[in-house]
């Protein structure tokens, strides 16, 4: 059986490098590429890949929220996070969102292929370099998330928070999400109220702290 793979990575040269390597592997076929989270969600719905290799930090919609949308829409699609980040907040965020694997970008091709084959067969795969400590972290993750103010935001509010943090205007956000500027403004106020912040710079700081965007 050939495993169909969708690559989600905002850096073109990295994306092309991964594709070039995977296309030499028997039993794996790259069927599409995406450069931001929103495009990844759309292509996952259209192309129905077996596995999505997902960069965690991407523009418009980060890897965590993109993974959440894909896994909620089609649980048969498996997601592998491929990231430079080994921090607990990124790993926990991706696993909670539904990812079946997490690799660091310094992994070798053999490990990436093994991860693809493992998750395609319904297994979990964590990079050996971050596996230690993850099991305990994963067990306590739900309790920690429940107590987080960030957990009170809806999926739409997290999307808007990211776009605000990426310096998108109310008009741009509205056009991207197909809602009015007034609705965007209402969401922004709700976000501020929930997070207890009063300014847009404070929202940006919060988004960075939660890993929605990186500097």
Q: Name residue, tokens 């990124």.
A: 90
- Topology of 3-145 in CATH? Rossmann fold (3.40.50)
Q: Is the pLDDT of residue 36 over 80?
A: yes
Integer-rounded Cα radius of gyration of the chain: 17
Q: Is the pLDDT of residue 186 over 70?
A: yes
Q: List, by residue range, all CATH 3.40.50.2300 domains of the chain.
A: 3-145
- Measured CA angle at 211 (ends 184, 174), to 5 deg: 15
DSSP line for 52-84: EEEESS-SSS-HHHHHHHHHHH-TTSEEEEEES
Q: List, by residue range, all CATH 1.10.10.10 domains of the chain.
A: 149-209
Averaged pLDDT of the chain = 88
Count CB atoms within 10 A of the CB of residue 149.
11
pTM for this predicted structure: 0.74
Q: Each residue of 53-71: pLDDT tens digit?
A: 999 999 899 999 999 999 9
Count CB atoms within 10 A of the CB of residue 11.
11
Q: Each residue of 128-179: pLDDT tens digit?
A: 777 765 555 555 554 555 556 667 888 899 899 999 988 888 999 999 999 9
The correct answer on CATH 1.10.10.10 for the domain covering 149-209 is: yes
Q: What pLDDT was estimated at residue 175?
A: 94
Query: Comparing C-alpha atoms, which of 67, 109, 58 is closest to residue 85?
Result: 58
């Amino acid at each position: 059986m050939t495993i169909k793979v969708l690559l989600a990575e905002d850096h073109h040269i990295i994306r092309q490098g991964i594709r070039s390597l995977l296309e030499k592997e028997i039993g794996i076929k790259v069927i599409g590429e995406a450069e931001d989270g929103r495009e990844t969600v759309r292509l996952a719905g259209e192309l129905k890949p077996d596995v999505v290799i997902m960069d965690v930090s991407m523009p418009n919609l980060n890897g965590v929220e993109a993974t959440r949308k894909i896994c909620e829409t089609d649980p048969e699609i498996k997601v592998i996070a491929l990231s430079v980040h080994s921090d607990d907040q990124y790993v926990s965020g991706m696993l909670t969102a539904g990812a079946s694997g997490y690799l660091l970008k310094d992994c070798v091709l053999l490990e990436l292929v093994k991860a693809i084959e493992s998750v395609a067969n319904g297994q979990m795969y964590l990079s050996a370099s971050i596996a230690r400590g993850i099991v305990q972290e994963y067990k306590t993750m739900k309790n920690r998330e429940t107590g987080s103010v960030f957990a009170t935001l809806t999926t739409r509010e997290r999307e808007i928070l990211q776009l605000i943090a990426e310096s998108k205007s109310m008009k741009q956000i509205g056009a991207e999400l197909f809602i009015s500027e007034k609705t965007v403004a209402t969401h922004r106020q709700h976000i501020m109220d929930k997070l207890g912040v009063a300014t847009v710079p404070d929202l940006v700081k919060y988004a960075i702290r939660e890993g929605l965007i990186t500097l």
